[in-house]
Amino acid sequence: MNKVAVIDYGMGNLHSVTKAIEYVGRDLGEDTEVLVTSNAQDISQSDRVVFPGVGAIRDCMAEIKRLGIDNKIQDAIKEKPILAICVGMQALMKQSEENQGVQCMGLFDGRVKLFGDPLLDSENNIMKVPHMGWNQVRQTKNHALWRDIPDDSRFYFVHSYYVETEDNEKVAGITNYGLDIVSCLSKENIFAVQFHPEKSQKMGQTLLRNFLTWDGRELC
């Protein structure tokens, strides 16, 4: 039995994530139990953890701290694979400039910034914010979760803020939307994505399938 804990702190697209993981688990032909939870024991007894998130980072961090999710994730990081999605990825950074500045969990160096106001493309045309829709991800390092996913594959994004870091060794993917932004981070047994794999059709399913079989080591 492959037990997956999807962390519930009231801010994630939990139904879509859960259904996508269940679908991929069935496709793998193995028993996969997906539990939506904020309970420390459930998270501890799982084989792997998904940390989703949507909405304002201030509200997300308030709920994360109220429920002790930050401590539970710190414990989980010590022993099992973790996939962070969208605001879940942003919450792992040191800080965000959203809502006049919010301290985040600090598991990755860097911060979360607002797209330019206005955001312009290379020909000085105004680009829409939020960044919403399909876009390419350029893979910048080898990783087990990129297995069977061609470089520059397209994934589905919905976000107004983006991650910036100077720790290039942790960057696993780059996407251009007016500027190059970090769309994937990896460190040991953590893989974090700005896009939504649960909404990204075949490539998203492939990434989730790789996550369900991942042993927590970066290289294939």
The residues that are catalytic are: 86, 196, 198
Closest to 52 (Cα-Cα) out of 94, 109, 12: 12
Tokens describing residue 105: 């969990």
Cα separation of 190 and 207, whole Å? 14
Cα separation of 194 and 212, whole Å? 19
Closest to 184 (Cα-Cα) out of 200, 71, 36: 200
CB atoms within 10 A of CB 50: 27
